[in-house]
Amino acid sequence: MSHEPKKKHSTQRKGKRRASIHLDVPMGTICPNCKAVTLAHQVCKACGFYNGRSVIKVSTPTVVRRRTVTDEG
């Protein structure tokens, strides 16, 4: 007893099925720093915070000491 599809789904049927996939706004989280809606597991594009600390430098007045990699050898 095989469970193979008997007929190939048409392009129209495939398109109809996939049309509803990307209708919704992607899931976002609220940034704890600036309360902006940002993507989950990604750096907040508004303030550059991730995991409670500033990761990237966005034009903010807060001075953040960053660790720089010095591999000049």
- Rule CB under 5 A: which residues touch Zn ion? 31, 33-34, 36, 44, 46-47, 49
Would you say 14 or 30 has its CB closer to Zn ion? Answer: 30
* Shortest reach from residue 9's CB to Zn ion, in Å: 43
H or E segment to which residue 49 belongs: strand 49-50
- Written as six digits, the tokens of 43 are 């750096």
Q: Toward Zn ion, which CB reaches closer, 18 or 53?
A: 53
- The alpha helices in the chain, defined as continuous H runs, are 11-19
Strand-pair partners of 28: 39
Question: Which residue number, 15 or 64, has a Cβ lying nearer to Zn ion?
Answer: 64
